[in-house]
Amino acid sequence: MAKPKQSGTSVWQGFENDTGWTSNGLVFLMGLINVNYGFAGLDGAVHLAEDCSNAASAIPLALASAVGIGFTTTLVFIVAALYCVKDVKAVVNSPTKIPLYEIWFQATQSKTAATVFVILIAVLWLFTLIGVQQTASRLTWAFARDGGLIGSGRLQKIDKTLKLPVWAMGRNSKLLSKPDVFHLGRAGWIPNLVTVAWACFELGIYNLPVELPVEAGNMNYTAAVLGAIALFITLNWFFHGKFHYSGPRLDFLHHIVQEGFSSERD
């Protein structure tokens, strides 16, 4: 790594606010979205719970592992990056529009090394798309199976040859496992309450513009995206869901499970 490095005081006590917002506390809370990337796949295991033969133990273990691994790797990377970054403004205003490239360049003083590191991360992103497609398609298929989506009749179909929910646009394993239930007993309300409270908090904070004054180039369009999603959910419910959706259809899943086992025996 190139020298000189940032001092410990700068890394652990320094705070720069060039956003235009006057409240450092608010800027700190808005900045938490960067940390969230270290836990982006946390909910993936929950969406695949029905495909686990031992969901009661496997899902909590997967969630705890994701938090532990995400926290450790994110903390190590962030601390190393802060010690190596020499010019924060250059990172923010990088001509490549890829701040991570500028971080690597300042750390190594080598365009070749920075390019290689960014390519490696891009390759990792491609592999993570497999998990994203699997989780998203599984979620879409499960909701369609329960009659909750417009076009559920087609989306819930599983190709007999590929054994995949092709119409749900993704991958899915064979549904041969018996669903299980996991719970925390009387303590369950605590994580549920924290989850709902945190979701409401994020919904407000992460929709704020990250820079003032607001222009087309620095506008936070999250509100527009969430608005479109909310509109679709509303229309889907009033024109389809309220007439066809009545909750998870576990009997449908059991039928597939039994059918799968019967096919295997044959």
Does residue 213 have a cis peptide bond before it, meaning omega lies within 30 degrees of 0? yes
Chain segment 220-234, per-residue pLDDT in tens: 998 899 899 899 999
User: Cα separation of 245 and 156, whole Å?
Assistant: 13
Residue 22's pLDDT is what?
92
Residue 17 confidence (pLDDT) above 70: yes
Residue 40's pLDDT is what?
72
Residues of the chain with pLDDT > 70, as a percent, come to: 85
What is the average per-residue pLDDT within 188-206? 86
Q: How confident is the model at residue 173 (pLDDT cuts 50, 70, 90)?
A: very low
- The DSSP string of 110-175 is -HHHHHHHHHHHHHHHHHHHHHHHHHHHHHHHHHHHTT-STTHHHHT---TTT-S-GGGTS-----
Q: How confident is the model at residue 119 (pLDDT cuts 50, 70, 90)?
A: very high
Residue 218 confidence (pLDDT) above 70: yes
Q: Which of 145, 170, 179 is nearest to 49 (CA)?
A: 179
**Distances, alpha carbon 174 to alpha carbons 29, 149, 181, in Å:** 42, 22, 19
Return mean pLDDT, the chain: 80
Q: How confident is the model at residue 111 (pLDDT cuts 50, 70, 90)?
A: very high
Q: How confident is the model at residue 102 (pLDDT cuts 50, 70, 90)?
A: very high
Q: Is the whole model's pTM more than 0.75, yes or no?
A: no
The separation between CA 219 and the C-alpha centre of its own chain, rounded to angstroms, equals 22
Q: How confident is the model at residue 172 (pLDDT cuts 50, 70, 90)?
A: very low
Q: How confident is the model at residue 26 (pLDDT cuts 50, 70, 90)?
A: very high
Residue 24's pLDDT is what?
93
Residue 178's pLDDT is what?
43
Residue 170 confidence (pLDDT) above 60: no
Residue 260 confidence (pLDDT) above 80: no
Instruction: List the single range of 7-11, 34-38, 158-162, 260-264 with lowest mean pLDDT.
Output: 260-264
What is the average per-residue pLDDT within 108-131? 87
36: helix, strand or coil: helix
Find all residues with CB under 8 Å of 107, minimum gap 6, and list them. Answer: 1, 2, 80, 81, 84, 85
* Count of other CB atoms within 10 angstroms of residue 208: 17
Residue 214 confidence (pLDDT) above 60: yes
